[in-house]
């Protein structure tokens, strides 16, 4: 992780409220007003000093309010219009500033300026989001996550508007409104919120076989990440790189989280939606504030132009990955998020991404999903941000100068001087003028075009099941269990039998055993797969690809992991040595007690309590530590919240450690779970019944936290938590 020291960006910060160099013409006075911190005197929007902000103007102390009260009317009118339309998809999100640095010049493949010089730090703004829910929905719902990065490069803004899942539901943009209508709350009663678990979605999916691959990802734990900083990101579509000599290669973009890929389990996700609906947003905000800057490495899979057809799937089909075993990911740079927004609305809400914002050296392909997106994103900003001038909102301004003859419109900020607003002109000296391509002016990649106009899907897009099956085969046993449970939850909420039946029938084409398990769980008989379905193993005949399973991610770091330390009065001071050791590894320690305020340790020193037990749950933490101390442990054993805390942590496979008689609480939790001998045991439960805290205890605990989760504990299924 990067240290909090303030890295100097190679270019001016474009996203604060300082005037951007792009706005040379903007009035200095207007800029300074924009940049103002809250002043000392309360004023109207016109700068009139307000003497009374408590009472409206009325005729007599008990009389009617006067229409004349311009101060009241201005204030209420502004309030009435505070909300803007939320994004039609990806409404709920969180953003952060940071920078990107390439590791080595990529000039062999692309002339993109920001991918040349390892010394240059390109400023970025990143917004993560869920797709389906409204702005006020919970963070931890089952859904794809948006992962949108705006690079403020010297050659203009480049937006990589991706997701945390490398494929999509549909192959052609014309299906997008249908998909979104199907997954959003049903129109007659607006139910359910932020959930795919309802009839209309599964009706659509069961009739749309191209969605099979995406469905497997969405029902895996990828769709319930532990944190934004522990999920991958993908550009999804195949793009093009173009180098200085005009040679093009195909490229897929990947973001690889430095902390590894980790997820919640469904029970945690459900409980978090109530205990902390802002779980992911809070995590991002707090980790940046602590200086534990989230990082991702940028990876690329490059396919030479001449290899376009060497795969048995189509590179233009957004329902397909290029397995990493076929084309390895080259790591080429790093993204670091190191600054929280100053104002959510001004930055995170008003940021406008667009996959059409590209720079020389990067270009599109004919992916029919991408092509449709190129229209959608500018269009949507007109209704969401209200004007074609959304590029002037500080967060959207490029650091590269923006000069053209586009003029006027609602909320125009730039005051362009002079009489010329057309091109060609002589009265303005010919400026601004086109820049020839050999001097850096953008030209589209001259891809040859052929064929007749037609509404048709290419034959090369026809295989919908091979990669869904590859994904399934690549999962570990516990990941497969989670996928089956997810199907049982989602399809269990479907009310129309025929929809469930069609879905199970679709699953037979992915894997017979998967279909059987889901059918059995739903109380149905699994139909036979269509003949020939089981012999299909295309995608150049891979049996599995390890990069598809999160079981294979790194498990050697506890940076940013939140450790709950359960305490009450008279907690043993010596036990608390564990906390220092974990903090030294950049874990976050939180003291949780039956009540807020302070408690005293065994040496009469005060410890400030971070949370009271009724306000939290183990789902909000990565691990639990129970220090010793007779009185403290007895108080916790008598507290139902504390017992449930440990029981849930065990059920969810989390690391649990106890010193001395702290283990009594583990035993109490086990008894409450109906475990016969009152013992939770198995991997990741670490106790030290006697003696002082030693290195091996600490090392074991740290190792267990880094493992993230132990899925092999005995009796987990039987525990109700
Ligand atoms: Fe989007 N998408 N999308 N999308 N999308 C929007 O743009 C759209 C698609 C993605 O944090 C909207 O400004 C169409 C794929 C992200 O502000 C809208 C199609 C991928 C975000 C829109 C797609 C994405 C959006 C809504 C099918 C992954 C949030 C508000 C052709 C590669 C960006 C807005 C942010 C947002 C349209 C499919 C990612 C309506 C028509 C595939 C991360 O323009």
Mean pLDDT value of segment 337-346? 98
Contact 510, 287 (CB under 8 A): no
pLDDT tens for 44-92 read 999 999 999 999 999 999 999 999 999 999 999 999 999 999 999 999 9
Q: Above 80 in pLDDT, residue 532?
A: no
- pLDDT computed for residue 249 by the predictor: 98
- pLDDT computed for residue 302 by the predictor: 98
Q: Above 80 in pLDDT, residue 27?
A: no
> What stretch(es) of the chain map to CATH 2.40.180.10?
93-396
Q: Above 90 in pLDDT, residue 2?
A: no
pLDDT tens for 114-158 read 999 999 999 999 999 999 999 999 999 999 999 999 999 999 999
- pLDDT computed for residue 28 by the predictor: 43
Give residue 535's pLDDT band: very low, low, confident or very high (50, 70, 90): low
Q: Above 50 in pLDDT, residue 32?
A: no
Give residue 527's pLDDT band: very low, low, confident or very high (50, 70, 90): confident
Average pLDDT in the chain: 93
State the burial class of residue 239 (Cβ atoms within 10 Å of its Cβ: 0-12, 13-18, 19+). buried
User: Given 3.40.50.300, 3.40.50.880, 3.90.470.20, 3.40.80.10, which CATH number is that of 562-718?
Assistant: 3.40.50.880
User: Which residue among 253, 353, 385 is best mutated to probe the pocket of ligand 1, counting the most ligand atoms within 8 A of its Cβ?
Assistant: 353
Mean pLDDT value of segment 515-535? 86
Dump the DSSP string for 616-639: --GGG-SEEEE---HHHHHHHHT-
Q: Whole-model pTM?
A: 0.94
What distances in angstroms separate CA 34 from CA 22, 38, 63, 382, 401, one per listed residue? 16, 11, 39, 23, 20
Give residue 534's pLDDT band: very low, low, confident or very high (50, 70, 90): low
Of the listed ranges 95-104, 332-341, 443-452, the one predicted with least confidence: 443-452
Please list every protein residue whose CB sits less than 6 Å from any atom of ligand 1: 87-90, 93, 127, 129, 146, 148, 161-163, 168, 173, 176, 236, 318, 351-353, 369, 372-373, 376-377, 380
Return phi, psi of residue 254, to 5°.
-135, 140
Q: Above 70 in pLDDT, residue 34?
A: no
Ligand 1: centre distance to CA 92 (Å): 13
CA–CA separation, 342 and 322 (whole Å): 39
**Strand 611-612 relative to strand 588-593: parallel, antiparallel, unpaired?**
parallel
Q: Above 70 in pLDDT, residue 550?
A: yes
403 labelled catalytic: no
CA–CA separation, 569 and 606 (whole Å): 9
Of the listed ranges 6-20, 33-47, 104-118, 358-372, the one predicted with least confidence: 6-20
CA–CA separation, 496 and 583 (whole Å): 52
- pLDDT computed for residue 35 by the predictor: 53
Question: Could you tell me which residues are beta bridge partners of residue 191?
Answer: 186
CATH of domain 93-396: 2.40.180.10
Q: Above 70 in pLDDT, residue 187?
A: yes
Ligand 1 atom with least separation from CA of 351? 17
CA–CA separation, 379 and 392 (whole Å): 16
pLDDT tens for 303-319 read 999 999 999 999 999 99
163 labelled catalytic: yes
Ligand 1: centre distance to CA 559 (Å): 31
- pLDDT computed for residue 36 by the predictor: 58
Which among 13, 45, 49, 90 is annotated as catalytic? 90
Which among 97, 157, 163, 660 is annotated as catalytic? 163
- Which of helix, strand or coil describes residue 283? helix
Mean pLDDT value of segment 613-639? 98
User: Which residue among 161, 168, 237, 364 is best mutated to probe the pocket of ligand 1, counting the most ligand atoms within 8 A of its Cβ?
Assistant: 161
- pLDDT computed for residue 33 by the predictor: 46
- pLDDT computed for residue 40 by the predictor: 87
Which residues contact residue 77 at a Cβ distance below 8 angstroms, ignoring those fewer than 6 apart? Answer: none
Name the nearest CA neighbour of 125 among 278, 335, 289: 335
What distances in angstroms separate CA 516 from CA 41, 87, 476, 484, 525, one per listed residue? 70, 39, 18, 10, 8
> What stretch(es) of the chain map to CATH 3.40.50.880?
562-718
Q: Above 90 in pLDDT, residue 707?
A: yes
Dump the DSSP string for 112-142: -GGGT-TT--EEEEEEEEESSS-TTS-TTSS
Mean pLDDT value of segment 555-573? 97
pLDDT tens for 400-436 read 999 999 999 999 999 999 999 999 999 999 999 999 9
Which residues contact residue 7 at a Cβ distance below 8 angstroms, ignoring those fewer than 6 apart? Answer: 99, 121, 338
> How far is Cα of residue 296 from the mean position of the Cα atoms in its chain?
12
CA–CA separation, 591 and 588 (whole Å): 10
- pLDDT computed for residue 679 by the predictor: 85
Ligand 1 atom with least separation from CA of 148? 43
- pLDDT computed for residue 4 by the predictor: 39
> How many residues can be counted in the chain?
721
Q: Above 60 in pLDDT, residue 7?
A: no
- Pick the residue with more confidence: 721 or 69? 69
């Amino acid at each position: 992780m990067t240290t909090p020291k303030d890295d100097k960006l190679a270019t001016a910060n474009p996203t604060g409220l300082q005037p951007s160099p792009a706005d040379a013409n903007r009035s200095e006075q207007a800029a300074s007003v924009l940049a103002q911190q809250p002043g000392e005197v309360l004023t109207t929007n016109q700068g009139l000093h307000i003497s009374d902000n408590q009472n409206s103007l009325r005729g007599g102390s008990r009389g009617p309010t006067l229409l004349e009260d311009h101060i009241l009317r201005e204030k209420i009118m502004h309030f009435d219009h505070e909300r803007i339309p939320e994004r039609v998809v990806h409404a709920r999100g969180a953003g952060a500033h940071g920078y990107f640095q390439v590791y080595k010049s990529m000039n062999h493949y692309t002339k993109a300026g920001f991918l040349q010089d390892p010394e240059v730090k390109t400023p970025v703004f990143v917004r993560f989001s869920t797709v389906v829910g409204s702005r006020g929905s919970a963070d931890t719902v089952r859904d794809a996550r948006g992962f949108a990065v705006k690079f403020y490069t010297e050659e203009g803004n480049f937006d990589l508007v991706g997701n945390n899942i490398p494929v999509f539901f549909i192959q052609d943009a014309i299906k997008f409104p249908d998909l979104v209508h199907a997954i959003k709350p049903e129109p007659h009663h607006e139910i359910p919120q932020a959930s795919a678990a309802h009839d209309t979605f599964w009706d659509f999916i069961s009739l749309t076989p191209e969605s099979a691959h995406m469905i497997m990802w969405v029902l895996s734990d990828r769709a319930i990440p532990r944190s934004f900083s522990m999920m991958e990101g993908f550009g999804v579509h195949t793009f093009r790189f173009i180098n200085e000599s005009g040679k093009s290669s195909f490229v897929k973009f990947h973001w690889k989280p430095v902390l590894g890929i980790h997820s919640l389990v469904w029970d945690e996700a459900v409980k978090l939606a109530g205990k902390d609906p802002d779980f992911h947003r809070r995590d991002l905000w707090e980790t940046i504030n602590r200086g534990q800057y989230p990082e991702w490495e940028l990876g690329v899979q490059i396919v030479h132009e001449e290899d376009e057809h060497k795969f048995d799937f189509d590179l233009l089909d957004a329902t397909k990955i290029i397995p990493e075993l076929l084309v390895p990911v080259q790591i080429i740079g790093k993204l670091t998020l190191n600054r929280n927004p100053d104002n959510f609305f001004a930055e995170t809400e008003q940021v406008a991404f667009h996959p059409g914002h590209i720079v020389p050296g990067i270009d599109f392909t004919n992916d029919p999903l991408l092509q449709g997106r190129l229209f959608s994103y500018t269009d949507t900003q007109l209704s969401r941000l209200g004007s074609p001038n959304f590029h002037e909102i500080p967060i959207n301004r490029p650091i590269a100068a923006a000069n053209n003859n586009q003029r006027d419109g609602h909320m125009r900020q730039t005051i362009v001087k002079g009489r010329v607003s057309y091109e060609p002109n002589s009265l303005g000296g010919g400026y601004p003028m086109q820049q020839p391509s050999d001097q850096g002016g953008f030209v589209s990649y001259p891809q040859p075009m052929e064929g007749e106009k037609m509404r048709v899907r290419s034959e090369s897009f026809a295989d919908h099941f091979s990669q869904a099956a590859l994904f399934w085969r690549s999962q570990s046993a516990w990941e497969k269990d989670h996928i089956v449970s997810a199907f049982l939850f989602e399809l269990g909420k479907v009310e129309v039998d025929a929809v469930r039946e069609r879905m199970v029938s679709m699953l037979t084409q992915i894997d017979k055993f998967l279909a059987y398990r889901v059918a059995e769980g739903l109380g149905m008989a699994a139909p036979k797969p269509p003949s020939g379905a089981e012999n299909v193993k295309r995608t150049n005949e891979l049996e599995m690809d390890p990069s598809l399973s999160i079981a294979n991610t790194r498990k050697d770091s506890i940076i940013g992991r939140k450790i709950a330390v359960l305490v009450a009065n008279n907690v043993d001071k010596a036990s608390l040595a564990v906390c220092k050791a974990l903090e030294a590894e950049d874990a976050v320690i939180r003291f949780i007690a039956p009540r807020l305020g302070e408690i005293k340790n065994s040496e009469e020193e005060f410890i400030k309590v971070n949370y009271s037990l009724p306000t939290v749950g183990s789902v909000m933490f990565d691990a639990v530590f129970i220090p010793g101390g007779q009185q403290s442990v007895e108080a916790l054993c008598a507290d139902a919240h504390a017992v449930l805390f440990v029981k849930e942590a065990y059920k969810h496979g989390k690391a649990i450690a106890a010193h001395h008689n702290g283990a009594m609480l583990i035993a109490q939790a086990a008894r409450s779970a109906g475990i016969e001998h009152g013992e939770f045991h198995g991997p990741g439960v670490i106790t030290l019944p006697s003696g002082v805290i030693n290195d091996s205890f600490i090392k074991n605990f740290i190792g267990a936290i880094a493992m993230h989760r132990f899925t092999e504990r005995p009796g987990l299924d039987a525990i109700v938590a």
